[in-house]
Every structure is written in structure tokens, then in C-alpha cells.
Amino acid sequence: MRVNVKKVSILSLLILVSIYLLFSFWIYISVRKSLSIAFLTDGTYTNQYSKYIDKNIYLRLNPKYAYAKNDIKRKKLSIGLGVPIHNFHKGIVWIKYTYIGIDKESSTPHGCRRVPIKITVKFENGSWKIIDIYQEA
């Protein structure tokens, strides 16, 4: 029985590309979850969050600290489609997000719209953790 090297090479490449894309999707889903934690929680960083996002990053993104708003009656976060590049251990995701919050006392809105952000992630303890972000001010 002769092995067709060309077919084996193509099949191997397809398997590798599929695995890469699956990891990319996993990273994107993890980043969405981490951003939701950062923007939509009350501002109290817990050990539960440390699996998904670094404390300093959390404090930079959470509206309580980023907008100096303590009492927010409604929050909305929209996250666009992300583009992850990775090496199966560390990666970068480029994504755009929109955040809107309504102050309880004055009912004035605050937030940002379609902000591009570059997120660096690292695979730690079975999950993808945000370890750095870059966004223009």
C-alpha cells in the first residue's frame, strides 16, 4: 500500500489550521467573558476574576474607576468581532467595544463607542487571562 504524500500533507495542514481556528475562537470567547467581568461588575475585584483578568487591567476598565462613577443604574456593553493572533500559549486580540452607563443620581449617560483595543492574553491555569491592554486615550 502506497501512501499519497500530497493527500497526507493537505490533510495535516487542514487539521493544523482547524486547530488554530478553534483556539482563536476559544480566545475570543474568553476575552468577551473577561471584558464583561471588567465592565459589568460592581468594581470589587475577587479571586474568582483573577483567572480571567489581571487586577490592574480590571481597575483600568471597570466604570467605577475609569469613569469615577459609583452608582450606575444601568450598564450596556457591546463587543465587536475580535481578531486573535496566537501561538497556542500567548496571543493578541484586536477588538472594538461600546460601553454605556447611566448614572443613578443624575440619569446622565457616560461611556464610549466603538473603541479599538489591543488585548494581550496568556494561557494560565486552564483559561485565557488578559494580562495587558492598549487603547488610545
Please give the tally of structural domains in the chain: 1
Phi then psi for 129, rounded to 5 degrees? -110, 135
- The residue ranges of DSSP E strands in 1-134, in sequence order, are 72-79, 83-86, 90-103, 109-124, 127-134
Quick check: 4 pLDDT over 90?
A: no
**pLDDT at residue 101, as a whole number:** 85
**How confident is residue 65, by pLDDT bands cut at 50, 70 and 90?**
confident
**pLDDT at residue 97, as a whole number:** 94
CATH code, 78? 3.10.450
**pLDDT at residue 74, as a whole number:** 76
**pLDDT at residue 69, as a whole number:** 63
Look up the domain containing 53 and give its range: 5-134
Q: Mean of the pLDDT values across residues 28-47?
A: 92
**How confident is residue 33, by pLDDT bands cut at 50, 70 and 90?**
very high
**pLDDT at residue 96, as a whole number:** 95
pLDDT digit string, tens, across residues 89-121: 999 999 999 998 887 777 788 788 999 999 999
